[in-house]
Amino acid sequence: MNQTKSSPFRLKFLAKAIIFSVHIGVLQSAGAFTVSDDLSDLSLEDLMKVEVISASKFVQSSSHAPSAVQVLTAEDIRRHGWRTLAEAMDSLPGLYASTDRAFGFVGARGFMVPGDYNMRFLLLLDGQPLNDNLYDQANLGHEFRVDMSLIERIEYVPGPGSSIYGSNAMFGVINVITHSAKKLPGLRVTTQWQGDGWREVNLTGSHRVGDAGPELVFSLSRANKSGRDLTYPDAVGLTTSDGTGSKNGVTHDLDSLRVTRAFVGLRQDGFAFSAWAARRDVHPSSALYGSNFDDGRLHLIDSSYGVTGAFQRAISADLNVNLRLAYQKITYQGDAPYFDQSAGAYVNRDQALGVWSSGEARVLYTGLPKHRLISGLDFQSDHDALQNNADLKVVINSPISVNTRGHRYGIYLQDEWRFLPDWRLNAGLRSDSYSRGDSNLSPRLALIWDAAENTTFKLLAGRAYRTANAYEADYARNPYYIANPHLASETIRTLEAVGEYHIDAGQELGLSVFDYKLNNLVRQVDTGNGVFQYQNQAEIAAHGLEIFHKLRRKNGLDFMSSIAFNQSRDARGQELVNSPHWIAKLRLSKPLWNDALIAAAEFNAVGPRTIEWQINRSQLGTQSQLNLTLTAARLAPGLSVQLRVVNALDRKIVQPASDEAPTMTLPMDGRQWQVGLNYGF
């Protein structure tokens, strides 16, 4: 009996050992690209001074940041042709992306609940939080606020960040930083075509008045995607628009999409102003929310609008002040078609309006020897948090209208103390209070040791939280959805050890070992007979490790590989659903023929995982995808052309579905080609 139990464990261990060996082999092979000492002008000291701002809200070396920060640059985005923020994040160690054909999702460290809207990540745009006041949603797919061509870099800070950011920063903080005018041409026109019917036009411009004058950046883009047929193998027999069952599981002329985005930014002398407007509407084929299968009346429209202003000024050599104010608005309309035996076909309409203001005032003080103190207070006030639901033309379900306005105040203090020449202690504490009576304390400690000129070790501990949002707590629609206003806040406690080793100038090896416990997870459960309610769940525990290797050379070679292992269990000892045992990634790009061409390849493999749908469990095997990109960078002055093949090996890929989808898994597209044309002057 013991032999029977130990065999699967030994097989899993052997498989992991093989994967780890392959990864090490890749690292050694990558090191072989180092053919001479003069391939890079970067000194080791300069390399270790790569600066980030998102980990502590002030500029610091990535080696001294209280996290294993990862950075993606505009050049990374350009070389690999990523079209969404989720695609870009999917290239980072330990992250894995998915979609329900309506929204894009990202999981971290073995945790992703299908359909959870990325609410356990905090998404920032130039430091401004974007998670909305209704769903806590972090938009990572085509529903993201700005065009990818505007992004200068993406800073990802894994682990708990509530000690300076508050709610939502449980698994990480994603800060999208836009270009300044000096990084953009005066005018740039980009067009993109894709084999699935995607067509896009983007106009980006910039203007700078002198060396110290105001800088203006603007962008306007429009994209359309035509509908296509798609086969859902497990959908045969599902109810369609006329009440009959689907005969072949095929949807017809669905997954059409329209996206419109506009952005303007102005910067001068420590002042920054930005405004955006975005609208996305989609007819997904995935029959979400229990709607009819293959029914084109399933139609989702979401929009977002925002205005932000920030001011930064050095009051003295030791004191820096930063102020920020923002006003944001989101709207949502979802039409879901159903069939009722007595009333026939009808449409149920969900509508939402979220309007809120937020602000922050913080100071950075460096007047104490060996200390950097940052302190701040921020607030958010809801003007509207309105949710409506009603049937159109008929009354089968009781209409609802609920507006749950509220406000929040937070205060935080953090100190980076260099108590010995090679040692730093980063300690932070934040307190948040909510108008409905909730309060949360969020501590973080980081001990950082510069063990050698090229080696840094970090020991990190923190606690983060997320309050239940308005949709989880207050949405109710008889007889299918029950409100739960007494939901407790989710909390996560994380311990992590990080090692960073700079092999030479331009080459780095990193290791992160983590352990976390997540309490009071808020998740929608079926209480019986198809009646859903959000409820707090028992503790989840997970541990794992992430290894990455980076190589960047003066000749343009850019290589990154990573592998992550994870083990996660719920309170009953069962394996956590949608939690891959391992994730492996390779990313490579290299200029060719005197930089006239840039070739890039990206390979992602996601290991086996357990999936669950409406209390039924199953196993999803390893899935992999290879993307290839070729960019002709200098066809003419200012002109470049890019050809990209997504899923080049035409692998069959499916994604786990939420309980409100019609099947346990949702099929993804096969091989797709993409062509982009870029002209700037």
CB burial of residue 621 (10 Å; 0-12, 13-18, 19+): exposed
Name the strand (E) or helix (H) holding 375. strand 371-392
State the average pLDDT over residues 486-497. 96
List, for residues 100-118, the tens digit of each pLDDT value: 999 999 999 999 988 888 9
pLDDT attached to residue 49: 60
Residue 505: pLDDT band with limits 50, 70, 90: confident
pLDDT attached to residue 506: 85
Q: Report d(CA 91, CA 69) in Å as an integer.
A: 14
State the average pLDDT over residues 301-309. 97
Q: Report d(CA 619, CA 12) in Å as an integer.
A: 15
Residue 4: pLDDT band with limits 50, 70, 90: very low
pLDDT attached to residue 137: 95
Residue 27: pLDDT over 70 = no
List, for residues 269-294, the tens digit of each pLDDT value: 999 999 999 999 999 999 999 999 99
List, for residues 514-525, the tens digit of each pLDDT value: 999 999 999 888
Share of the chain above pLDDT 90, in %: 80
Residue 40: pLDDT over 90 = no
State the average pLDDT over residues 387-415. 93
pLDDT attached to residue 35: 29
Q: Chain-wide mean pLDDT for the chain?
A: 90
Q: Report d(CA 47, CA 401) in Å as an integer.
A: 55
List, for residues 163-215, the tens digit of each pLDDT value: 999 999 999 999 999 999 988 889 999 999 999 899 999 999 999 888 778 99
All residues at 6 or more sequence positions from 26 whose CB lies less than 8 Å from its CB, including other chains: 549, 561, 586
Residue 17: pLDDT over 80 = no
The SS3 assignment for 260 reads strand
293 phi-psi bin (left φ>0, alpha ψ -120 to 50, beta other): beta
Q: Of 41-55, 171-185, 189-203, 410-424, which gets the smallest average pLDDT?
A: 41-55
* 33-680 CATH fold: Maltoporin; Chain A (2.40.170)
Q: Of 11-20, 102-111, 418-427, 531-540, which gets the smallest average pLDDT?
A: 11-20
What are the boundaries of each domain within the chain?
33-680
Residue 506 neighbours by CB distance under 10 Å: 20
Q: Report d(CA 124, CA 265) in Å as an integer.
A: 15
Q: Where is pLDDT greater, at 557 or 554?
A: 557
| Helix %, strand %, coil % of the chain (to 5) | 10, 55, 35
Share of the chain above pLDDT 70, in %: 93
